[in-house]
Amino acid sequence: MQRTTLRVVKDEVVSREAMIVAQHPLIAEAGAELLQDGGNAMDAAVAAAFAAGVVEPFMSGLGGGGALIVHQPASGRSTTIEFSLRVPALAGEHPFELDPDAPAQGLFAWPAVKHQANRIGWQSALVPGAVAGLALALERFGTRPLREVLAPAIRYAREGVRTDWYLTLNIACAEPELAAFPSTAAVFLPGGHPPRARLGFGEPTDLFVQPDLAATLEAIAAEGPRTFYQGDVAQALDRAMREHGGFLRREDLQRYRPVVYEQPLECRYRGRYTVHAIPGPMAGTTLVELLQILDGFDLAALGHNRPATLHLLAETMRRAYVDRFAFMADPDFVHVPLAGLTSPAFAAARRQTIDPHRADLEPTPGDPWPFDPAPRARGAGQVARPIDASCTTHLSVVDRDRMMVSLTNTLLELWGSRVVIPGTGVLLNDGMFWFDPRPGAINRVQPGCRPLSNMTPLVVLRDGRPWLAIGAPGGRKLITGILQSLLNLVDFGLSVADAVAAPRIHSEDAITYADSRLPAETLEALRGFGQQVQPLEETYAASNFGRVVAILVDEAAGLLRGGVHVWQPATAIGL
């Protein structure tokens, strides 16, 4: 029996001067506009990040948070700026009542709370960090004033953008939840229904305008981030939160500060590659553990996406994730063995537990404490089954001087809290859902705490020189998506376009999820290792394996090479 096979391809983009890769053409064009005008990589990245909140409002925006890493080739240094969400003071330590009669829901499959209050509505929002973090990054590393960098986003919001299938689909899928909040429905359901994309030749396309958001962006352009954290926006948020029983207050906004790491989290891979990631409660720690375990296997000899290779990947992923959920949380609030989890010696110990011929579907967490000087933590995590909820945006920029910026921004779940602050156009995150709601859990709600985040923006050096800026949206699946894209480049010699588009797997519990584009005989052979394989189909609507975008610096040819995933409107623009 034979069936039709769908093959979707996007070309590699090649240029000499500068490049941006992003999840939507208008996001990429906003960054390219700054690059064309002589701006540097940070100018372009910040412009694109603000624009993303306008044209991809369900993924990121002013009400969210994120992180970025910038590499400056002149100094050889990488700096990271983390603008994570933070728990407001009024939330306390046990803000939600568990609902034992409801099934676990959402991205993490935590136990459900009553009325889904940690996922939907006013109480689910944490203190947003995007405006502060992006403004700080521009101040430290950019060359253009904030008003110039915000111009594309303001234009998109004020003049509107033509609705495409991507926007219409995402609004339509969330319509009941968006309609539940009048301030949200007023923005995203004009006339009581989603804005219309063109479906046929000559049919009209709605113009999607966001005048309140435009006014907020214009105020930030004129007054800086102060208006968001202390001025009119802060007052509007405080007023709405008091009216609707939310936790956030103006004082929480006034206290907010991004975190700057002058030294990134760093590891070596295959000798000549140096990976720079975000420290702290991000996913950089998990990615480093994955890479260091795999560094002890000769993946190239086994072959790209061969059953033996996929088996080793699944076993490595399963161990790294069980360690992640057992030990990771905000290190400012609990003792986390960050040095142990990223130690090559700990990776070697974990590697020794992998049978290259047989799967272990329920590995126990390792013991990183002997490799770490920190005291042992209290509390224990809980491994959660993966549920699809692609909810983030990522962009990367490389400029003429080969400054590299890798930036990820998020509202957490799609549409975040589903709540727009009236009169501002600002859609708030649902960052409470990043916390395990069970009392005593290591990753629990505590005032001022940062949640355990999946964001993993990376820059990679080869022989100490700028080589790769890479990242992805996709919940916890973005970690393994970035990992396999990097392996595709380093171990298997794929082009950057093929590396990010190739079929992948993801495993963090007994099930190994596999892209249905992998050959049936490969999946059957993988089952022969004892893996419980479940094929999943990638489509334009469903994202099962992270959606990676990357820029590779081809120093020998003097070129930049851009690759983006094939399913949604991700775009690379080279100058």
Specify the residue for token string 């050959």: 519
Q: What would the two tokens of residue 418 be?
A: 């589903």
Residue 482: closest CA among 297, 275, 328, 329:
275
pLDDT at position 385: 41
Residue 560: closest CA among 490, 497, 515, 506:
497
Count of CB atoms within 10 A of residue 406's CB?
35
> Is pLDDT larger for residue 105 or for residue 119?
119
pLDDT at position 540: 85
pLDDT at position 198: 80
CA angle (473 as vertex; 259, 60 as ends), nearest 5: 65
pLDDT at position 130: 98
Bridge partner residues of 21 (DSSP): 396, 572
Any idea which of 197-211, 276-290, 327-341 has the lowest mean pLDDT?
197-211
Say if residue 282's pLDDT is above 80. Answer: yes
pLDDT at position 5: 74
Query: 284, 263 in Cβ contact below 8 A?
Result: no
CA angle (435 as vertex; 432, 438 as ends), nearest 5: 115
> Is pLDDT larger for residue 166 or for residue 202?
166
Band of the pLDDT at 384, cuts 50, 70, 90? Answer: very low
Query: 424, 245 in Cβ contact below 8 A?
Result: no
Mean pLDDT rounded to a whole number for the chain: 93
With a pLDDT cut of 90, the percent of the chain lying above it is 82
Architecture of domain 282-328+337-376+472-567: Orthogonal Bundle (1.10)
Q: What is the mean pLDDT of residues 188-202?
A: 87
> Is pLDDT larger for residue 190 or for residue 442?
190
Say if residue 386's pLDDT is above 50. Answer: no
* Residue 503 buriedness (CB in 10 A; 0-12 / 13-18 / 19+): middle
Q: 105-114, 439-448, 477-486: which has the highest mean pLDDT?
A: 477-486
Residue 17, SS3? coil
pLDDT at position 97: 87
Q: What would the two tokens of residue 567 be?
A: 């399913």
pLDDT at position 538: 87
Q: What would the two tokens of residue 50 be?
A: 């603000």
Say if residue 439's pLDDT is above 90. Answer: no
Band of the pLDDT at 443, cuts 50, 70, 90? Answer: confident
pLDDT at position 3: 75
pLDDT at position 534: 97
Query: 212, 184 in Cβ contact below 8 A?
Result: no
Residue 432, SS3? helix
Can you tell me the distance from the alpha carbon of 511 to that of 361, in angstroms, rounded to the nearest whole number? 8
Residue 19: closest CA among 455, 569, 468, 410:
468
Q: What is the mean pLDDT of residues 205-220?
A: 97
Residue 123: closest CA among 410, 336, 437, 361:
437
Q: Please, which residues have CB within 8 angstroms of residue 406's CB and are 6 or more apart in sequence?
A: 68, 69, 394, 396, 457, 458, 459, 469, 470, 471
pLDDT at position 452: 87
Can you tell me the distance from the alpha carbon of 22 to that of 574, in angstroms, rounded to the nearest whole number? 12
> Is pLDDT larger for residue 374 or for residue 444?
444
pLDDT at position 317: 98
Say if residue 390's pLDDT is above 60. Answer: no
Q: What would the two tokens of residue 83 be?
A: 């603008």
Band of the pLDDT at 338, cuts 50, 70, 90? Answer: very high
Handedness of CA 85, 151, 567, 307 (dihedral sign): negative
> Domain-by-domain residue ranges, the chain?
282-328+337-376+472-567
Bridge partner residues of 536 (DSSP): 515
Handedness of CA 467, 569, 47, 395 (dihedral sign): negative
The secondary element (H helix, E strand) that includes residue 494 is none
Band of the pLDDT at 200, cuts 50, 70, 90? Answer: confident
| Backbone torsions φ then ψ of 456, nearest 5 degrees | -140, 55
Q: What is the mean pLDDT of residues 515-524?
A: 96
Q: What is the mean pLDDT of residues 9-19?
A: 96
Q: What is the pTM of this model?
A: 0.95
Specify the residue for token string 């929480």: 252
Can you tell me the distance from the alpha carbon of 333 to that of 330, in angstroms, rounded to the nearest whole number? 6
| Catalytic residue flag (residue 408) | no
Query: 410, 393 in Cβ contact below 8 A?
Result: yes
Can you tell me the distance from the alpha carbon of 321 to that of 476, in angstroms, rounded to the nearest whole number? 9
Say if residue 16's pLDDT is above 90. Answer: yes
Q: Please, which residues have CB within 8 angstroms of residue 28's CB and are 6 or more apart in sequence?
A: 20, 21, 22, 48, 395, 571, 572, 573
pLDDT at position 287: 97
Say if residue 87's pLDDT is above 50. Answer: yes
Q: What is the mean pLDDT of residues 270-297?
A: 96
Query: 393, 59 in Cβ contact below 8 A?
Result: yes
pLDDT at position 107: 52
Q: What is the mean pLDDT of residues 209-225?
A: 98
Q: What is the mean pLDDT of residues 412-434?
A: 95
What string of H, E and C letters represents the secondary structure of 274-311?
EEEECCCCCCHHHHHHHHHHHCCCCHHHHCCCCHHHHH
Q: What would the two tokens of residue 353 be?
A: 């537990």
Q: Are strands 532-536 and 511-515 parallel, antiparallel or unpaired?
A: parallel
Q: How far from the centroid of its chain's Cα atoms is residue 197's Cα?
A: 27
* Residue 237 buriedness (CB in 10 A; 0-12 / 13-18 / 19+): buried
Any idea which of 69-83, 96-110, 181-195 has the lowest mean pLDDT?
96-110
pLDDT at position 345: 97
Q: How many residues does the chain have?
A: 575
Count of CB atoms within 10 A of residue 20's CB?
35
DSSP state of 361: S
Query: 446, 357 in Cβ contact below 8 A?
Result: no
pLDDT single digits (tens) 32-46: 999 999 999 999 999
Query: 503, 488 in Cβ contact below 8 A?
Result: no
Of the candidates 309, 392, 424, 571, the residue annotated as catalytic is: 392
pLDDT at position 217: 98
